[in-house]
Amino acid sequence: MRDCGQCGHELEPFFDSTCEPPVAWLCQGCGSVTLEEDLRALSPSARSELATLQAFIAPVPENGRAPREPQPALGRAQARARAILEGVRAIPVDIERIAAQYGYPVRERPLPRDERGTIARDGDQTVIVINQHRTGITDAERRWIIAEELGHAVLEHSTLVASAAPGNRLTIPEPRRRVEEREARRFAAEVLMPEEKIRGRFAELAPRIHQALGLRQRQGETDEVVAALARMFAVSPAAMRTRLEELDLIR
């Protein structure tokens, strides 16, 4: 995890792509934004969303007219994920089985090509849908989609409400959607890469990093550890690297 240098509040990652490391870190405490990439390197949609989200989390002036919309409680996503994983010992986590156990079975159906997955109604049942038209989805990406959509469901996000009302789709304010997406990603990271298990497995592999001689060898060993843990937890190397950085295990 990273803490804000100005107020000490826990920072939240902002992604241009869910398959890549964060491009910025946002502080809901003081409203600051720390960029990892040059703003001009971000996609137009990411720049727009980042500007909207920055305005959303910015402190309201004392003479402001409207208070900010309440933010999700910090740690809510992680706490829910940990409760779901209670009693689960096996790694990698069988996320599809867990989703089904909690009442959200996974289905593959046609969706718009720019969508990877969603939550939808199937008769009187709510299901997680994977876009069968998306080619080249890896097992790691499929698992992440299921985990993220399960997060939306169990955290009772507005997206679930919208999906549950065919013909009466709700308009969800973009800032709220961005907050919910980030919370669902937190849930997915914790449920697929539980902190306790990540720390334990990393401790077993970390000596090879610490014993490396020179920056280049250390970086190479770090890459190998990231790849090994990614295979162990059945996630992408990018997702594992981001998780290890969030837990302050690597830099």
Could you tell me which residue, 20 or 122, shows the higher pLDDT?
A: 122
Biggest CA–CA distance in the chain, Å, is 62
Predicted model pTM = 0.66
Model confidence band, residue 216 (pLDDT cutoffs 50, 70, 90): confident
Give the model confidence (pLDDT) of 155-179 as tens digits: 887 755 434 334 444 444 456 677 7
Cα angle vertex 9, ends 21, 198, to 5°?
45
Decide: helix, strand or coil at residue 172. Answer: coil
User: Taking a C-beta distance cutoff of 8 angstroms, is the pair 142, 124 a contact?
Assistant: no
Where in the chain are all domains bearing CATH 1.10.10? Answer: 76-192
Locate 230 and state its tokens. 């990614």
Query: What stretch of H or E contains 45?
Result: helix 44-57
In eight-state DSSP terms, residue 58 is S
Model confidence band, residue 54 (pLDDT cutoffs 50, 70, 90): low
Q: 142 φ, ψ to 5°? A: -60, -45
The class level of CATH for 76-192 reads mainly alpha
- pLDDT surpasses 70 at 132: yes
pLDDT at res. 22: 79
In eight-state DSSP terms, residue 40 is G
Find, among 166, 162, 187, the residue nearest to 73 by Cα.
187
Rounded to an integer, what distance in angstroms lies between the CA atom of residue 77 and that of residue 18? Answer: 17
